Every structure is written in structure tokens, then in C-alpha cells.
Amino acid sequence: MGPLSPINDLAGVLIQQYSNDLEETLEMLVQQELAEAKEEGLKGVQRFVYNNSNSKKNKYDLMAISTETAGKLLQGEFKTIEQLATHKYETKNML
């Protein structure tokens, strides 16, 4: 682009910074909305998940688990969602 190349580069940097700032702001808004939904209880969280289920970046889902599994989750027995889901599947198939 000749003499306009530095301006083009600067514009690219500014646009990238704006995009990053926008993403951070949107993430903060989603987290704030989730915190407010938690205060409303189960119905509030269900509504939040339903309203955000089509989001590409923020994928939320609900999983029904037993009281026993919830206890193990709170005790830190599961390190990943996959471990939790596998335990839930194995427990269901043992019944």
C-alpha cells in the first residue's frame, strides 16, 4: 500500500484492541447476568441457560445429578465435566 501501510497497520491494531475490549465487556455482562440468575434460584438459572443456549462462545447446559453425585462433586472427586458425566452414566447403568 506504499505510504499508507503504517496507517493500515495502526488501524488493524486499533480494531483488534477494540474487538478484545468488546469481548471482555460482553463476557463481564454475561457473568453478571448469570450471577443475578443464581440469586433467583433454580428457575432463574434455567431461564438463563435457555436464553444463552444458542450462544456460540458461552455454551451453558444443565445436568441432572443425584444427591450422592452432587456430594462427590462438592468434595472435589471430579476434575472435569467429562468425569462427572461418565460417573453419572455409569451410575445410571448400574441401576
Residues 5 and 50 in one domain: yes
- Residue 95 scores a pLDDT above 60: no
Question: 3-class SS at 6?
Answer: helix
- List the domain range (segments joined by +) for residue 83: 63-95
- Cβ neighbours, 10 Å, residue 8: 10
pLDDT number for residue 52: 79
Residues 17 and 49 in one domain: yes
Residues 14 and 50 in one domain: yes
Residues 72 and 52 in one domain: no
pLDDT number for residue 92: 67
Residues 10 and 53 in one domain: yes
**Which cell goes with 79?**
476434575
**Which cell goes with 80?**
472435569
CA–CA dist 63, 73 (Å, integer): 13
Residues 51 and 69 in one domain: no
What does the pLDDT look like over 65-89, one tens digit per residue?
Answer: 888 888 999 999 999 989 998 887 7
Q: Taking the complete model, does pTM exceed 0.75, yes or no?
A: no
**Total domains, the chain:** 2
Residues 49 and 81 in one domain: no
What does the pLDDT look like over 28-59, one tens digit per residue?
Answer: 998 899 999 999 998 999 888 888 776 666 67
